[in-house]
Amino acid sequence: MRSACKEEEFYRRHNGKAYCVLHFPQPNKKKQFLRTLRFKLGKRNFDFSGVWFPEVSFKLQNFDGPATFNGALFKGKVDFSQATFTANCSFDNSHFFHGARFNSTNFQSTTSFQNVRAEGKVSFGSATFSARVIFSKVKFNGDVSFTTTKFQFANFFDSSFIGVVSFAYASFLAHSSFVSVTFQSAAFFQEVFFNRGLYVQELEFQAHCVFDETTFDGSSIFIGTDFRKIASFKKTVFIGAVDFSECTFHESARFVLANFHARADFSKSTFEDEISFSERSSVPTFAISSSLNLQYANIKRPERVSFHSVTLAPNWFVNVDARKFLFKNVSWRNYGVQEMVDHIDLENADRRSPHKLLSIACRQIAVNAEENHRFEEASRFRYLAMDADRRDVWLGWSFWRLSWWYWLASGYGERPARAFLVLVFLWIFFAGTFLCAQNSSWWKPASIGPPEVPRILDVRDSAIYSLGVLTLQKPEPFPNNRSARSLVLLETVLGPLQAGLLALAVRRKFMR
């Protein structure tokens, strides 16, 4: 620490030790201290290693050379507001006892809050903040790293922040990371701009954290973060992909009016209380290019998971039970089964049965819709579930299976229009067959009239005859040979069967 005072004279003794004015550990030195401080700043000597600071202000100070505050003790309030650091800056092992202000401070070099100092970086390694610290409107123009930092109200790499920390309106114009960080008190990130995203791992918020109206321009990674209190992401914009996998939310996680423009991954996360997504009328919560992943999420109170006025896709709920989720005024993307399967991000163990997994997810959503009296929606998801099962075998062309014919004839009893069209097709098909295949020996002679006159049906008669057979009316003339009897018998079986499927589909559509 003596590098800071190698040109300083003896000032006083304390506990038998000789000190210069910079390192003398008593507050009654302020006048002489400030005189020496101004002298050092005038010489552009920014080495303050181990200095014992009374209340001091560096407001508007331009640190245009390497600045060292390693081991410094700030016994009074310290103000770095609107200061500019254009070179290396280190606060390693420093201690802020009565708070610190970094309002509108401009860090123009690459910034790293780590234990290890590196060229072109600003370091707060192992620093201690015993009171409130404010980084509002700070600009980090270089790479920012909070690796293995503890935030007890704001903490930089192995530093301790006992007071509230605020990064409101700050700008991170390069890469930023918070790894193994702990916030023991409130942390505020309102309207912060992360130009290249944010990397967070094993971060712990022991008090509430606020990211309202913050913009993440690049990819954001919150892997393993522990949110002990309310986590608010109101009106937050995620332009790049965001990864909340393996996170733990002990209280509410609020993504009210948030916007996701890419993948949002909450896989393997734990939700012990509420998680809510809602949408602005003009800006969708989930853009067309975005997706949501909730696979293997541990949701303790599923009835507290809510989606309000958002647009979703069924494949987003694979490997999570959505039966008790609250879907209010939700729209569903009109994807085909295969398209949804192609967009499911499955682990190796599940890649052999993606259709089965999608089917389970759709059935659970159908149960949710049924129990909440959204019957049209329930019908749609029942159809998707059975269609996913069908496509799991031979790409959906397993015509030897009864379920395949059930799909073809009536859309699994969920498509009345299809059942009606198939019924009309049977009527026209058999009418055409009667018209084209008949000959003089096809029908028995008429019961009324000359027996020697053969009966041949024209177009109109064939249509009426086919309709009569289809409705089990046994119309005349009666079939006279094996071919005619077989055809009439086939229509007698298929027609009423298809009519029954139509009735079933109509009943399911309107029974409530």
What is d(CA 476, CA 468) in angstroms, rounded to the nearest whole number? 9
Domain residue ranges in the chain: 313-397, 409-510
What's the confidence (pLDDT) of residue 53? 94
What is d(CA 158, CA 149) in angstroms, rounded to the nearest whole number? 4
Whether the predicted pLDDT of 342 surpasses 70: yes
Using CA atoms, how far residue 202 sits from 128, 179, 185, 292, in Å, is 20, 6, 16, 22
Whether the predicted pLDDT of 144 surpasses 60: no
Confidence of residue 107 (pLDDT cuts 50, 70, 90): confident
What's the confidence (pLDDT) of residue 256? 93
Confidence of residue 348 (pLDDT cuts 50, 70, 90): low
Across the beta sheet with 122-123, the strand order is 67-68, 89-90, 122-123
What's the confidence (pLDDT) of residue 155? 32
Q: Counting every residue, how long is the chain?
A: 512
Which has more confidence, 311 or 134? Answer: 311
Query: Under a CB-based contact definition with an 8 Å cutoff, are residues 249 and 222 in contact?
Result: no
What's the confidence (pLDDT) of residue 413? 86
CB atoms within 10 A of CB 373: 9
Whether the predicted pLDDT of 117 surpasses 60: no
Confidence of residue 408 (pLDDT cuts 50, 70, 90): confident
Confidence of residue 150 (pLDDT cuts 50, 70, 90): very low
Using CA atoms, how far residue 405 sits from 413, 481, 505, in Å, is 11, 30, 15
What's the confidence (pLDDT) of residue 111? 41
What is d(CA 315, CA 294) in angstroms, rounded to the nearest whole number? 10
Q: For the residues 95-102, what does the mean pLDDT come to?
A: 87
Q: What percent of the chain has pLDDT over 90?
A: 43
Whether the predicted pLDDT of 338 surpasses 70: yes
Of 112, 106, 100, give the one whose Cα is nearest residue 85.
106
What is d(CA 79, CA 393) in angstroms, rounded to the nearest whole number? 70
Confidence of residue 402 (pLDDT cuts 50, 70, 90): confident
409-510 folds as Helix Hairpins (1.10.287)
Whether the predicted pLDDT of 181 surpasses 80: no
Which has more confidence, 145 or 301? Answer: 301
Least confident of 134-143, 288-297, 357-366, 434-443: 134-143
Least confident of 198-212, 278-292, 343-357, 490-504: 343-357
Which residues does 395 contact at the CB level (< 8 Å), separation at least 6?
none
Helix (H) or strand (E) run with residue 264 in it:
strand 263-265
Q: Is the previous residue joined to 477 through a cis bond, with omega within 30 degrees of 0?
A: yes
Whether the predicted pLDDT of 96 surpasses 70: yes
Query: Under a CB-based contact definition with an 8 Å cutoff, are residues 167 and 175 in contact?
Result: no
Whether the predicted pLDDT of 448 surpasses 60: no
Least confident of 146-150, 345-349, 394-398: 146-150
Least confident of 82-96, 104-118, 221-235, 241-255: 104-118
Residue type, 480: N
What's the pLDDT tens digit per position in 316-337? 999 999 999 999 999 999 888 8
